[in-house]
Amino acid sequence: MVGRVLGAHVIIQPGTLVMIALLAYFFASASGETTVRTLSIGALLALALVGSVLLHEIAHAIAARSFGRSVKEVVLTLWGGHTSFESTDMTPTVNGVTAAAGPAMNLVVAGAASATMAWTGLGGVGGTVVSYVAWANVLLAVFNLLPGIPMDGGRVLESIVWAISGSRHRGTVVAAWGGRVVAVAVVVYSIAGPLLSGGRPSLTSVIVAVVVFSILWPAASSALAFSSTMLRRDGVSAAGLMRGAVAVPYTYSVHEALSAAATAGVEEVVVLGADDAPAGRFPIEQAQAVSESARPTTSLQSVTTPVPRGSEIPAGALSDVMIPALREWWGKTDVWVV
């Protein structure tokens, strides 16, 4: 950790320092000579790029805070960065605006750098760095706005589909496929672009494309697999999973409970307490434990399996309600009363 921004920890992983060193060498060697001067300029350009990424992530944090979300950390990594913030009760608006804030910041930085060059006519090393900042931030904005996960544009697309369909997971599936398309397109472009213009793909561009593909494809595929699974559960309701039951008072005998279940054509009996709230259950197969002759005189209460108070769920509850309820009651009960 190197500091705090908006109450969030700012963390620079060791991989970021490796990337700065690699970029500094790349920029220096691109000039045709590797000297102290070119390495120094390369280091400035690398730091400018990392600084732009940091501003990008801080913009995400600012947007999240504007919606009242607590921001946990801003992290710079070998391949870029990410911002962690409170994501409970997300909405398409919060998700989309927070995602779009990063590229928007890059466009603001690019505009400021371009305006600086236009107004000052800055030359020399300073001009080189400022021009590079403008160019790099435009590229960062454009790349991050590509409509596929894990780019910010993918989250924007996810939010749009989410708002239209009402299903976040449907939005994620669409955006994840977008991420896969982008991953393939990067590789195809690195090879087909030079060939179509009469040239040959450079080894460097192909390696970069493969590295980008190796980042984008797994991230998109992971999101696709998760949300495809979650999408299949979206239409599941408590009513669709419940086992038919009839409610009877605890004062009933086993015989009366079985008669009520037979009349209702169900296989479960919900036993109501003195306050008419569900207090237990009696699966009718348990009646085998009571001899037929003893059933009229055996209290239902004596063979009832207790059900914890509050383990009830509305019949119309969907998976987004049932799953949190399952977590809450895990190990406390094996049934809910619907």
- At 98 the pLDDT is 94
User: pLDDT per residue over 227-271, tens digit each?
Assistant: 888 777 766 666 666 677 778 887 888 888 788 877 887 777 887
Residue 28 near residue 14 (C-beta atoms within 8 A): no
What confidence tier does 183 reach under pLDDT thresholds 50, 70, 90?
very high
Look at residue 153 in the predicted model and tell me its pLDDT.
94
Q: How far apart are CA 173 and CA 166, in angstroms?
A: 13
Cβ–Cβ under 8 Å, residues 87 and 61: no
The count of other CB atoms within 10 Å of the CB of residue 8 is: 22
- 331 three-class SS: coil
Burial of 263 per CB tally in 10 Å (0-12, 13-18, 19+): exposed
The model's confidence at residue 164, banded by pLDDT at 50, 70 and 90, is very high
Return d(Cα 337, Cα 328) in angstroms, integer.
15
Average pLDDT over residues 43-53: 88
Residue predicted with more confidence, 140 or 32: 140
Closest CA to 131 of 113, 118, 115: 113
C-alpha closest to that of 264 among 246, 252, 242: 246
**Residue 25 pLDDT > 60, yes or no?**
yes
Q: DSSP string covering 207-248, please?
A: HHHHHHHHHHHHHHHHHHHHHHHHHHTTT-BHHHHPPPEEEE
Beta carbons of 6 and 65 less than 8 angstroms apart: yes
Q: Which two tokens stand for residue 87?
A: 């994501």
pTM of the model: 0.71
Instruction: Write phi, then psi, for 86 (nearest 5 degrees).
Output: -60, 125
Mean of per-residue pLDDT scores for the chain:
83
The whole-number average pLDDT for the span 202-217 is: 86
The answer to whether residue 1 scores a pLDDT higher than 60 is no
Token pair for residue 64?
Answer: 């999240």
pLDDT for position 75:
86
Of 135-139, 207-211, 329-333, the least confident = 329-333
Q: Hey, what CATH topology would domain 238-329 get?
A: CBS-domain (3.10.580)
pLDDT of residue 3: 73
C-alpha distances in Å from residue 227, one per residue of 23, 83, 171, 178: 36, 21, 9, 14
132: left (phi over 0), alpha (psi -120 to 50) or beta: alpha
**Is residue 60 scored above 60 in pLDDT?**
yes
Give the tens place of pLDDT for each residue, 98-146. Answer: 999 999 999 999 999 999 888 887 778 778 888 888 999 999 999 999 9
Amino acid present at 330: W
Q: Enter the tokens of residue 259.
A: 């008669």
Mean pLDDT over 301-317 rounds to 70
- Residue 93 confidence (pLDDT): 93
Q: How many CB atoms lie within 10 A of CB 251?
A: 12
- Strands 71-77, 8-12: pairing is parallel
Q: How far is CA 91 from the centre of its chain?
A: 12
Q: 151-160, 263-272, 314-323: which has the highest mean pLDDT?
A: 151-160
Domain residue limits, the chain? 1-145, 149-234, 238-329
Tokens of 47: 């730091």
Least confident of 60-69, 204-213, 260-269, 317-326: 317-326
Which strand (E) or helix (H) includes residue 60? helix 36-66
